[in-house]
Structure 1
Amino acid sequence: MGLINYNIEKYSPQQLVVIPLVLFIISLVVLAFTIVATGMPVTPGIDFSGGTAVTIITSDSREQLQTTFAGYPLSEISDMNNGKFLKFSSMDDTRYQSLSQLISQKYPDAKIDQIGESFGKSLQSQAALALIFSFIGMAVVIFLTFRTFVPSVAVVFSALADMVMTAAVMNIIGIPLSLGTTAALLMLIGYSVDSDILLTNRVLKRQGKLNDKLTGAFHTGMIMTSTTLAAVAALFAVSWFGSVQILMEISAVLLIGLVADILNTWLTNVGILKWYVQKGGGK
């Protein structure tokens, strides 16, 4: 990572935070529109909205499948090895039984999974509580670790910005909120704070010039992030070629979050810490 010249000495704290702050505001707007449209910050997948998932082994084209299931609420068709993965929106029992009969007749080896709408809403509540409590727990640990208000807020805000930006991009590129992507967002909470903790420790607890401490933290942090990015990118590539939808979505969410974390750690958090030190905070 020594090839990257990370020298921010000539930039003011305000200049450092302006780009990620604009992206954060845009992301909030995207989430607000999604809440108005769906009732959730991220478009819910079948796990949370309810519906029917069907895996079939077929060479039929998308157009043929759309014609076959024209009388049913087919919402998504995904390619997989030697077949297709279909998602249907919620429907009443009569239509579901009719759909099951049609699938059994035309695709006898098909796998059908149904999630009820009420069960999906129950999963929504549980997933929301998991994200909220995980984030609160992370924030408490950060405040107990540093016991200093501004640096702690910087770490927590950077993690929040990572989550918000990732959720906004999920909406833009069409990755739904499912149990798998919820797990990826939970993992992001941990990934988001490791480089922030490294940065804050270097700035507050080491002696030396501020720019030297920031540069050293950047090189170490980018090595950490790069190894994680490489592993997640490999997972994404394998799941893409293998058409493993859930792993592809999880790895995509992690890749988006890690890129957002680079912005928020080395611009937002650094800008806040630089302002804090220049005002006389830290050692």
Structure 2
Amino acid sequence: MKYISRQSHKPLILIPVILMIISLLYIGVFGLNQGVELKGGTLATVELKHPMTESEITNLVKDKLKVNDVQTSLSGNTATITVSGDLDAAQFSEMFANDFNVLSFKSVGALLSDAAMGQIAYALIFAFLFMSATVFFVFRDFIPSIAIILSALCNISVAVGGMSLFGIPISIASVGALLMLIGYGVDTDILLTTRLLKRREGTVDDRAEGACKTGIVLSITALASMLVLFIVVKIFIPSAQVLADISAVLVMGLLSDLMSTWLMNLGILKWHIERGGHN
């Protein structure tokens, strides 16, 4: 921690910025998978009538429905099947009568998908707007406010880039995780900014070191809890894919937050103080 807080700040700023640029380029090239709530499709929860593996269920559904986009999550004797396109519940039940008992069946049309995408965009935009206004009101200083907003943007970019890399779909649940990530990231950024700009005890490096100790402990605690959740879900509750997606997004975002806060934001604030800012 002392090593980070007392390093030359200019090289440190570049590391998260480069990572954010790489993430944005990756998203631009490879795009994002959309969950069934957004792209439209069918989500069926079924009870197996005879033992089958996930791959056997997936291949069976692909062969009978003549579709390629099928995802299956199996837990014990219950499977969750996601299929692109709109299916008829009665026809689905009849087609797989020898293999499944249909427990639930949800169809999401394109109209709902378009509306959901619009709501996601509004949610993220308003979250950033209100966060920006609050930060500027608290510190009344343009540079620290921009640093906090840039840090949050970096966290979101890296998390979404990770979603694209690992095939995690953009869905209502993963967007909720991104909104949670804004809160997680801003907490440590405000802690750092308050210690450096509001307090006057000790040198800038001393104050940065104190903030670093507290903030990194907070971040590692949150990161560890999300890792445990991800591992538990994958091993013991494989059907709870939503929880796995949320925890995975938060893990990637919190790892990014460690760099964006303690490398980029710290570097920007030290540069700002050296130039006589916030005096």
CA distance in 1, matches of 2:137, 2:244: 36
Contact 1:81-1:242 within 8 A present in 2 as well: no
Q: Output the TM-score relative to the length of structure 1.
A: 0.89
Contact 1:45-1:176 within 8 A present in 2 as well: yes
Contact 2:148-2:189 within 8 A present in 1 as well: yes
CA distance in 2, matches of 1:19, 1:166: 16
Q: Give the letter for the 1:225 counterpart.
A: S
Q: Give the letter for the 1:57 counterpart.
A: E
Whether 2:212 is the aligned partner of 1:215: answer no
Shift of 1:77: 2.0
2:258 corresponds to: 262
Q: Which among 33, 56, 60 is matched to residue 64 of structure 1?
A: 56
CA distance in 2, matches of 1:153, 1:27: 20
Q: Give the letter for the 2:85 counterpart.
A: S
Q: Give the letter for the 2:46 counterpart.
A: I
Q: Which among 73, 77, 86 is matched to residue 82 of structure 1?
A: 77
Shift of 1:64: 2.7
Map residues 182-261 of structure 1 onto 2, 5 A cutoff: 182-207=175-200, 208-240=202-234, 241-243=236-238, 244-261=240-257
Shift of 1:230: 2.8
Whether 2:15 is the aligned partner of 1:9: answer no
Equivalent position SS for 1:258:
helix
Equivalent position SS for 2:278:
coil
Deviations 1:50-78 (A, max 9, x none): 10112223321244324422142242122
2:33 corresponds to: 43
1:124 corresponds to: 117
Shift of 1:104: 4.0
Contact 1:6-1:218 within 8 A present in 2 as well: no
Equivalent position SS for 1:77:
strand
Shift of 1:233: 2.5
Gaps of 5+ in 2: none
Contact 1:236-1:247 within 8 A present in 2 as well: yes
1:160 corresponds to: 153
Q: Give the letter for the 2:113 counterpart.
A: G
Deviations 1:151-210 (A, max 9, x none): 110001000110011000011001111111111111111111000000001111111211
Using the aligned pairs only, state the percent identity.
Answer: 35
CA distance in 1, matches of 2:7, 2:108: 55
Gaps of 5+ in 1: 36-41
Q: Output the TM-score relative to the length of structure 2.
A: 0.90
Shift of 1:121: 1.5
Q: Give the letter for the 1:148 counterpart.
A: D
Whether 2:126 is the aligned partner of 1:133: answer yes
CA distance in 2, matches of 1:71, 1:109: 16
Q: Which moved more, 1:114-123 or 1:64-73?
A: 64-73
Shift of 1:278: 1.3
Q: Give the letter for the 2:237 counterpart.
A: G
Q: Which among 18, 23, 41 is matched to residue 22 of structure 1?
A: 18
Equivalent position SS for 2:16:
helix
Summarize the Cα distance change of 1:7–1:255 in structure 2 as closer, same or farther, 3 Å threshold: closer
Summarize the Cα distance change of 1:156–1:88 in structure 2 as closer, same or farther, 3 Å threshold: same
CA distance in 1, matches of 2:70, 2:59: 13
Summarize the Cα distance change of 1:34–1:141 in structure 2 as closer, same or farther, 3 Å threshold: farther
CA distance in 2, matches of 1:65, 1:219: 50
CA distance in 2, matches of 1:216, 1:63: 52
Summarize the Cα distance change of 1:204–1:32 in structure 2 as closer, same or farther, 3 Å threshold: same
Whether 2:50 is the aligned partner of 1:54: answer no
Shift of 1:103: 3.0
Contact 2:16-2:260 within 8 A present in 1 as well: yes
Q: Which moved more, 1:96-105 or 1:25-34?
A: 96-105
Contact 2:87-2:107 within 8 A present in 1 as well: no
Shift of 1:128: 1.4
